Amino acid sequence: MVRKDPETGTAELIVEGFVPTYDPPNMLAFVGDNGQDHLMADITNVLQRAASMLEGAVHMQGLTLQQCEQFQHKARERWASLHHELVGGR
DSSP 7: T
- pLDDT one-digit tens code per residue, 51-64: 676 666 667 778 88
CA atoms within 13 A on the CB side of 27: 6
Span 12-21, pLDDT tens digits: 878 766 666 7
Give the integer Cα–Cα distance in Å for 8 and 20: 29
| Burial class of 54 by CB neighbour count within 10 A (0 to 12, 13 to 18, 19+) | middle
Q: Who has greater pLDDT, 59 or 28?
A: 28
